[in-house]
Chains A and B, each alone.
Chain A
Amino acid sequence: MTSMSASPSTHPSVHPGAGEPLLSVRDLRVTFQRQGQEPFEAVQGVSFDVRPGQTVGLVGESGCGKSVTSLAIMGLLPKHGNHVSGTVDYEGTNLLTLSDQEMRDKRGKDIAMVFQDPLSSLNPVVPIGIQVTEVLERHRGLSRKAATPVARDLLDRVGIPDPDRRLKDYPHQLSGGMRQRALIAIALACKPRLLIADEPTTALDVTIQAQILALLKELVQDTGTALVMITHDLGVIAGLCDEVNVLYGGRIVERGERHELFAQPRHPYTHGLLASIPRLDAPRGQRLQPIPGSVSDNLPWTHACAFAPRCSQPIEVCTQVMPELEEQHGRALRCHNPVEGHR
C-alpha cells in the first residue's frame, strides 16, 4: 500500500460511471469547545460522497464520531460550544453556509433522518397521525384534512397494520418495531432524496432489526432515496450498503465497495471488526477475536495512528507519523502496515 500513489485525502475518487454525487462531504471537522476544557475534535476531516439512490455505510465503534458527523450534515449541532468546518455539498449547495430558515426548509423535505431510539424520538403527548401529518403540512403545504389519508397510506406502506386506528394511537401504545416503522414513515413522508439513518436498529430486538432493515432496503430501492446508514454493526452493513466507510477516532480509515471490503479488509481495524463477528462457516472450536483495548487507548492522530495501541501488527512508524488516506481503484486506506491477502 505504501507504494500506492498518494492522492489528497480530501478528494476521494469518483466511481466510474456512477454519476454526480448527491451529497458530497469534504474535510468535515467538528470541534467541541467547552469553557475551561481542552477543545475536542470529534470529527477530523471526514470526506465521502453519496450518489443518488446509493446506500453508503458509516461504520465504527461507539464514540468514533458517527452521530456528530450526521448531525453536522443536518445542521443540528447545538448553536454554541462547537465549531464546524469543511463543506457539505448537497446538489451543489453547501449546507453549512445556509441560513437557519433555508436549512429548515431542506430538513424533512430533501434530507431526512431516522434516529436510534424510536420511543424517545416520538413526541409522547401527540398521536402518531398528527406527527406524520405535521411534516406533510410543513413541507407539502397540505391541510391537516388532506394530509390524513396520505399519512394513513404512509403507515400502511411501512407495514403498520390497521393504520386507521394507529393514526390515533400515542407512541407508548405501539411496540418498538412499530414505532421505528412510524418514524421511517415520517422521515420518508416528503420523499426526501437523502435519508440518514443513525443506528436505526440498535434499540430493537434482533428479529425486529431484520424487519426494519428489510423495510429500509425496500423503501430506498422503490423510491430511489439515497441512504447513509450509520451503524456500529457490520452485520447491518453487509446486507444493505453499496459502499462502506470505516471510521476510527473521527477519521475515515478505510473505504471500499461492500463485497471488496468484506472479502479483503486491508485496515487492521476493519479486519479486526470482521474477525470479531461470529461466522457460521468458521471451523469448530475457533474462538472469536475481539479487538483488544478500547477507544480510550487512542493516540492523537496528529503524530501517530490513533489505532496503533490496539493494532494487531503495528510497526515503528505507526506511533510516529499519521498515515494519510490513500486512494486506489475506488478503495481508500489509511494505514502504514495494511493486512495482506484474502480473509
Chain B
Amino acid sequence: MDNPLNPNRKKQRIDDLAATAGTGGGAGSVAVADLTVGDAGHIAESTGVSLIASAWSRLRRDPVFLLGAFITLAFVLLAIFSPLIAPHDPTAGLLLKEVRPQTNPIPGARPGYPFGADSSGRDIFSRLIVGSRQTLIVGVMATLFGFIGGLTLGTLAGAIGGWVDSVVMRVVDVMLSIPSLLLAFSVAAIAARPSQWTVIVAIATVQVPIFARLLRGSMLAQRGSDHVLAARALGVKPSAIVFRHMLPNSLSPVIVQATLVVASAIIDAAALSFLGLGNPDDRQPEWGQMLGKAQQYIYDHPALAIWPALCIIVVALGFTLMGESLREALDPKSRR
C-alpha cells in the first residue's frame, strides 16, 4: 500500500500506471517485431508478437511473479474448498472443556489441533482455513465494486471531458486526499449495524477514486490515439468510439491495478474487523476479527495473533508480488 498520508504520491503512481496504456496499445497487442515481405506482389506471412504474448514469455520465467501467482492460486483454492480441507467444524467448541477462564483460557496445541483452540474452544487451524473464504469474498467483492464504480466515473470523465471531467476529477481528488483507512472507517462507521457488507462497501469506496483516476488517464491517452482518429474519420458514433475503441484499450493498467487492490482490500478489511467495524458474528471466522480477539491474550498467547496475521501478510504479499510483476511486464518502458 502507498503511504496513505501522501496523496500526491498516490496520484503520481496512478497516473504513471495510466500512461502505460497510452504507449503500450492496451490490453490487446502491439507488434514488437514488425517483419516485412519478400517478393513484390506476394504477401508473406509475418506476425508480430503481441504485448500479451511478450509479457507472458517474460512472466513465465520471473520467480517473483511465479511465487505471487502460486500464493494467490493456493489461497483461492483453499478458500473455495475450505470446508472440505478443514479438519474440524470451525464453529464447534470442541475443546470447550479444556478452557479454564481463570488459569488457562486458551487450550494449547495437541494432536488433531496443531494450533490449539481459542477461548471458546474452537479449533484455530480450522478457523484459519475457513477464514480464507471471508477474506477472499471481501477482497474480491470490494475490488469488484470499486472497479465498477471507478469504471463508471473514469469513463464518464475520460469520454465526455469538459466540465463533467472537471467535476468528477475534483471529487476523485478530494477522495484520494483522505487517507484510505480513514475513509474506509468513516464509511463503515456510518452503517448502523456493521456486517460483512459494510466492510465491502467501505473498502470499495476507497478504491473507486483510484480506479477512476487510472481509467480516466488511460482513456485520455486513447482519445488522442491514431486508431481513435481513424475511427472518427469513418464516422463511427461517439458511443461506439468510447465503448469499442477507447475503453477496451484502456483496461490493461486497470486490471493490473485490480490485483494490487485485492491486496490492500484484504489488509483494510482485516483492519476494519480488527477495530470492531467488521462482521461482529464470530461464528463466521475471519482473520482480522481473530486478530482483534487475540488482543487480550497477546502477552501470554502471542501465537493466537501471529497465525492470522501471518495469513493476512502472506496472501497480501502474494497478490502484490503478482500485481507488481504484471505491471512491470506490461509496461512498455521496462521492456528489454
Contact = CB atoms under 8 A, between A and B. Distances in A.
A139 B231 CA distance: 13
A107 B41 CA distance: 31
Interface string B214-258: 000000000001110111111111001000110011000000000
A76 B43 CA distance: 33
A225 to B, nearest CB: 15
B235 A173 contact: no
B77 interface: no
B43 A159 contact: yes
Contact of B37 (A120, A160, A177): A177
Classify the interface of chain B: helix, strand, loop or mixed.
Answer: loop
B230 A173 contact: no
B31 interface: yes
B27 interface: yes
A64 interface: no
Nearest to B34: A176
Contact of A120 (B45, B226, B240): B226
A124 B236 contact: no
Interface string A101-113: 0011111110011
Contact of B230 (A106, A121, A138, A170): A121
B249 A122 contact: no
Contact of B40 (A103, A119, A211): A211
Contacts of A187: 234
A178 B44 CA distance: 9
Contacts of B244: 123, 126, 134
Contacts of A178: 43
Interface in A72-125: 74, 76, 103-109, 112-113, 115, 117, 119-125
Nearest to B50: A172
Nearest to A103: B235
Interface string A167-209: 0001111111110000100110000000000000000010110
Contacts of A183: 230
A99 B277 CA distance: 55
A23 B60 CA distance: 56
A116 to B, nearest CB: 8
A176 B240 CA distance: 26
A103 to B, nearest CB: 8
B46 interface: yes
Contacts of A239: none
B235 A208 contact: no
B235 A175 contact: no
Nearest to B29: A172
Contacts, number: 128
A138 B28 contact: no
A103 B249 CA distance: 26
Given A108-B236, A170-B29, A175 B249 contact: no
Contacts of B46: 175
Given A123-B245, A172-B29, A175-B43, A107 B233 contact: yes
Contacts of B36: 175-177, 205, 207-208
Contacts of A105: 235
B48 interface: yes
Nearest to A211: B40
Contact of A173 (B47, B240, B249): B47
A308 B225 CA distance: 37
A8 interface: no
A205 B44 CA distance: 13
**Size band of the A side of the interface?**
35 or more
B226 A112 contact: no
A107 B235 contact: yes
A123 B41 CA distance: 26
B59 interface: no
A302 to B, nearest CB: 32
A124 B235 contact: no
A186 B227 CA distance: 13
Contact of B233 (A113, A119, A134, A205): A113
B35 interface: yes
Nearest to B40: A207
Contacts of B240: 134, 138
B314 interface: no
B30 interface: yes
A124 B230 CA distance: 12
A161 interface: yes
B40 A161 contact: no
A6 interface: no
Contacts of B232: 76, 107
A245 B247 CA distance: 40
Given A115-B230, A175-B36, A183-B230, A125 B26 contact: yes
Given A123-B245, A123-B249, A178-B43, A171 B29 contact: yes
A147 interface: no
Interface string B169-189: 000000000000000000000
B158 interface: no
Nearest 3 interchain pairs by C-beta: A125-B28, A124-B28, A108-B234
Given A159-B43, A172-B47, 15 more contacts: A103-B235, A109-B235, A113-B233, A120-B227, A124-B28, A124-B30, A161-B43, A171-B29, A172-B30, A172-B48, A175-B34, A177-B37, A187-B234, A207-B36, A211-B40
Interface of B: 25-31, 34-37, 39-41, 43-50, 225-227, 229-237, 240, 244-245, 248-249
Interface of A: 74, 76, 103-109, 112-113, 115, 117, 119-126, 134-135, 138-139, 159-161, 170-178, 183, 186-187, 205, 207-208, 210-211
26 contacts: A104-B237, A112-B234, A115-B229, A115-B233, A119-B30, A123-B28, A123-B248, A124-B227, A125-B27, A126-B244, A134-B236, A134-B244, A135-B234, A138-B235, A138-B236, A161-B43, A170-B29, A171-B31, A175-B37, A175-B45, A177-B36, A178-B43, A205-B37, A207-B40, A210-B40, A211-B40
